[in-house]
């Protein structure tokens, strides 16, 4: 049996989807872009908190340093080079929030989302949030709507994002998520497997060079050790659902981030400096995609597109 409850995080409302039998739950923060705040999953009759979350309101709001833990990345993920892009022969500028060099991770991570629907049953709990982007925004003057549905079931958490272009013209669009995954110990002792043999080559400031290079470092499970990653990998489009795996062999735990490759054809992997988590980010496009003339970053008038990913513990 599943249920939905509300709780408090330092004065901020969170919505919890709960499996009352297993004790598993997912916590979502509607007022901060539908942030995935917590995810607790079960293995061997033990509950494991697999999201390395914000510890307080200051971290969530990016007051000291914004790590975008659990954040929704929209209408672009990762970086826009020097915060500028050209669309339909018009230039736009975005405030620089990445060390004063680039624009990073879109606009909605801290926007209030509205609860539009919820449902519980013996098999699942779902929560649907909505957001409408104002067309009078100077840095992104295009109107569109987001519908984000979170589903907790015995298989784990699944998140579906539906984007609708409500502008009279085509608009640039990208989508992604930024969950920091943890198995409770330093990632140096964990193994990582990425279903890719291709990586986007980038400059020193992490902007793509235009080349795709071979990288088989994690095609088979490989120890993370002290390796530092901040890279986008190209997924095999012939595989409908791709899985990036994080292994704790000593505890017999495998954390799975899966994504539908038709709309999330890239996965970006980032290792924070504290080495207690790894960000495994489903992405619809590569960094600086608005400047790459990529067909997957354009939505036609009235076009709808759905993006799906999920997290499991095996």
pLDDT at 64: 79
* Residue 135: band (very low, low, confident or very high) from pLDDT cuts 50, 70, 90: confident
The three-state secondary structure class of 189 is helix
SS3 for 241? strand
Choose the weakest-confidence range: 132-141, 193-202, 267-276: 132-141
CA angle, 262 as apex, 257 and 267 as ends, to 5°?
Answer: 40
User: Which sign, positive or negative, has the C-alpha torsion 21, 24, 30, 34?
Assistant: negative
Instruction: Say what percent of the chain tops pLDDT 70.
Output: 99
What is residue 99's predicted lDDT score, i.e. its pLDDT? 85
What residue has token string 């140096």? 188
Please tell me which residue, 261 or 135, carries the higher pLDDT value: 261
CA dist., res. 281 & res. 200, Å (int): 14
Do residues 283 and 176 touch, judged by C-beta distance below 8 A? yes
Q: Which of 128, 151, 179, 154 minimizes the C-alpha distance to 24?
A: 154
Contacts of 16 (CB under 8 A, 6+ apart): 4, 5, 6, 7, 25, 26, 27, 28, 38
Q: How many helices (H) and strands (E) does the chain have?
A: 1, 28
Give pLDDT, residue 295: 62
Least confident of 12-21, 132-141, 198-207: 132-141
pLDDT at 137 over 90: no
pLDDT score, position 274:
94
CATH number of the CATH domain containing 296: 2.70.98.10
Query: What distance in Å separates the CA atoms of residue 157 and residue 28, rounded to the nearest whole number?
Result: 12
Q: For residues 232-258, give the mean pLDDT.
A: 96
pLDDT over 90 for what percent of the chain? 92
Indicate left, alpha or beta for 16 from its phi (over 0: left) and psi (-120 to 50: alpha): beta
User: How many residues would you count in the chain?
Assistant: 314
pLDDT tops 80 at residue 36: yes
Pairing status of strand 25-29 against strand 35-43: antiparallel
**Alpha carbons 129 and 114: distance in angstroms, whole number:** 5
Residues 2, 125: contact at Cβ < 8 Å?
yes
Say which DSSP state 188 is in: G
Strand order of the β-sheet with 222-223 is: 114-120, 124-133, 144-153, 156-165, 304-313, 253-260, 241-248, 191-193, 222-223
pLDDT at 294: 67
pLDDT in tens, 150-185: 999 999 999 999 999 999 999 999 999 999 999 999
Give the pLDDT band of residue 125 (cuts 50, 70, 90).
Answer: very high
Q: Residues 59-85: what's their mean pLDDT?
A: 94
Q: What predicted TM-score, i.e. pTM, was given to this entire model?
A: 0.97
For the residues 136-141, what does the mean pLDDT come to?
88
Two structure tokens written together for 136: 């009078």
Nearest to 36 by CA among 60, 65, 57: 60
271-282: pLDDT as tens digits: 999 999 999 999
In the predicted structure, residue 44 carries a pLDDT above the cut 70 = yes
Mean pLDDT in residue range 60-65: 87
pLDDT, one tens digit per residue, over 276-302 is 999 999 999 999 999 987 667 899 999
Q: Among 266, 268, 263, 265, which residue's Cα sits nearest to residue 306?
A: 263
Total domains in the chain come to 1
> 234: which 2 tokens?
């190209």
Q: What residue numbers bound the domain in which 93 lies?
A: 2-313
Alpha carbon 30 to its chain centroid, in Å, reads 15
């Amino acid at each position: 049996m599943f249920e939905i409850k509300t709780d408090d995080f330092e004065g901020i409302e969170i919505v919890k989807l709960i499996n009352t039998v297993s004790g598993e739950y997912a916590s979502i923060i509607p007022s901060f872009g539908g942030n995935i705040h917590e995810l607790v999953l079960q293995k061997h009759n033990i509950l494991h908190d697999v999201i390395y979350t914000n510890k307080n309101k200051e971290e969530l709001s990016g007051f000291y340093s914004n790590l975008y833990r659990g954040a929704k990345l929209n209408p672009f993920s990762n970086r826009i080079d020097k915060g500028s892009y050209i669309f339909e022969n018009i230039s736009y500028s975005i405030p620089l929030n990445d060390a004063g060099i680039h624009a990073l991770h879109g606009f909605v991570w801290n926007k209030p989302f509205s609860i539009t629907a919820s449902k519980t049953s013996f098999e699942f709990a779902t929560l649907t949030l909505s957001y409408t982007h104002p067309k009078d925004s100077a840095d992104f003057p295009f109107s569109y709507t987001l519908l984000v549905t979170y589903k907790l079931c015995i298989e784990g958490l699944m998140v579906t994002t539906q984007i609708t272009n409500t502008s009279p013209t085509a608009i640039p669009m990208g989508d992604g998520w930024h969950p920091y995954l943890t198995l409770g110990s330093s990632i140096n002792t964990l193994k990582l497997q990425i279903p890719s043999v291709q990586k986007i080559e980038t400059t020193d400031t992490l902007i793509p060079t235009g080349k795709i290079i071979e990288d088989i470092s994690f095609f088979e499970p490989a120890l993370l050790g002290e390796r530092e990653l901040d890279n986008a990998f190209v997924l095999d489009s012939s595989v409908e659902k791709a899985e990036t795996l994080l292994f704790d062999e000593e505890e017999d735990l495998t954390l799975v981030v899966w994504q539908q490759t038709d709309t999330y054809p890239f996965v970006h992997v980032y290792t924070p400096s504290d080495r207690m988590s790894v960000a495994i980010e489903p992405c619809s496009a590569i960094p600086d995609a608005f400047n790459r003339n990529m067909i997957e970053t354009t939505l036609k008038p009235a076009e709808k597109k759905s993006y799906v990913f999920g997290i499991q513990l095996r």
